[in-house]
Amino acid sequence: MATYFDPKAWSPLRAVDLGMDLGKRLFDQAWVDQWASFTTAWIDPVTDFGVGTVTALMPDVLMTLLSEGILSQFGGQEVKAAFYGHDLSATLHTLKVRRRGANFQTKTVLTDLYWNGHPVQELTVIAHGVRLIPGVPTKLRSAQLDLTGVISVAALLEWINSWQPDWKLEALDDGLILAQHRRRRIRALASAEITDNLLAITVHQAHWRKVRAPRALTKLEPIPLLDLPNQARILRAERIGDHIHFAADLPGLNGSFDLAQIRSAIVAGTTLIVF
């Protein structure tokens, strides 16, 4: 079975016995200048590069340089990024790459993630069908992203409370959620679970002005989660103690980045930008 390779322990240049240590040479100015010059020489990889030719090494070299450089500079430390216009900061633990036919697959593990200020305790992202199209700017494409992660119940409810005006949600010690309508004096105890993009809400009790609602009025049909950002699909989300464990996937994403900016960010340890 195929396994991820660690870019610190592998290099396509070593694979053809050129004897270069990319980790040591990454921050050498001459090597950095050669790296930047690649962007004007490469063409769209429209053929299968897994045939062992010199041309096949070009995407591998850049992927190795990017992953090795980012992991060497930010591994175990906080990394800041501007990703599709969203501010992101997190502690980077894993950044691995492997070739899958003509494309790549990447695995990234982050903890203490803040996405536009909202905290996520842990997030693992596996990107499939990743392609680098050299140029100015360099283009980045992926066919699909699989996400798994953990977020605290308190953080999730705080985020929900920040964008919906009608209900105030509060986590209780018994695992239920207390929902209070801000104007109509309705209170309800409920639990929820998401499976295959369907939100199932179980209302255990509901009161209006201290009058308990009949059970027949508290039954809700599962709610399809449509029109999520970037056509995201939530495969599952369930509460375990004080945390929500979730899995989701996203269709292909396209982005671009300035290779010189990425190089400078790696050298200086500043913000990485993908647009």
Contact 107, 4 (CB under 8 A): yes
How far apart CA 214 and CA 77 sit, in angstroms, is 53
Overall pTM surpassing 0.85 (yes/no)? no
pLDDT digit string, tens, across residues 183-242 = 888 899 998 888 998 888 888 989 888 888 887 777 778 888 877 777 889 999 988 889
- Quick one: which of 9, 102, 4 has its CA closest to 60? 102
Selection from 112, 110, 130, 108 nearest residue 120 by Cα:
112
Q: Is the pLDDT of residue 58 over 70?
A: no
Give the torsion through C-alpha atoms of 62, 65, 67, 69, to 10 deg: -150
C-alpha closest to that of 92 among 222, 266, 249? 266
